[in-house]
Amino acid sequence: MQIIKHHALKWPGLLLDLVLPPRCPMTGALVGRQGALDPEYWAKLNFIRKPFCVTCGNPFANAITGEMTCGACMEAPPIYGRGRAVLRYDDASAGMILKYKHADGTQLAHIMAHFMMQGGSEVLRKADLLIPVPLHRW
């Protein structure tokens, strides 16, 4: 019974893919599945990886061992405990971020949520509270 249900759930998606082939929400190129990014676009994204500041999450230029705090956070500690970003904000990521935040790019929600879970999973596991920050005070 479960197998029939599982396959039955795929038909609407397959029909949708036939009528509206999956396209990258950024480039419009055909992709393998709905919500995927074009591999050429993906390759241009600069993901932030360790080593980075344990407070603000800004990456260090040189390899270090252990957890370190950057000079800026030591000089003027931020009001928050820990912050993380997934991508460097540059020419490659700016279009995607701005489209999601300001241009009703809801088709990017799944992709961005996945990115944020990957980038912030360590912080989220230790968090007592997650507070969304609105884009505007109203």
Q: pLDDT band for 9, please (50, 70, 90 cuts).
A: low
Q: pLDDT band for 4, please (50, 70, 90 cuts).
A: very low
Q: Which residue has the higher pLDDT, 68 or 138?
A: 68
Q: What average pLDDT does this structure show over 94-114?
A: 89
Asked if 38 and 24 touch (Cβ cutoff 8 Å), the reply is yes
Q: pLDDT band for 7, please (50, 70, 90 cuts).
A: very low
Cα three-residue angle 49-53-56, rounded to 5 degrees: 100
pLDDT score of 3 more than 50: no
Which token pair is 80? 């928050």
Q: What is the DSSP annotation of 83-122? A: ---SB--SHHHHHHHHHHHHS--GGGHHHHHHHHHHHHHH
Least confident stretch, 4-8, 10-14, 67-71, 118-122: 4-8
Q: Supply the pLDDT for residue 17.
A: 67
Total-model pTM: 0.74
Q: pLDDT band for 41, please (50, 70, 90 cuts).
A: very high
pLDDT score of 1 more than 70: no
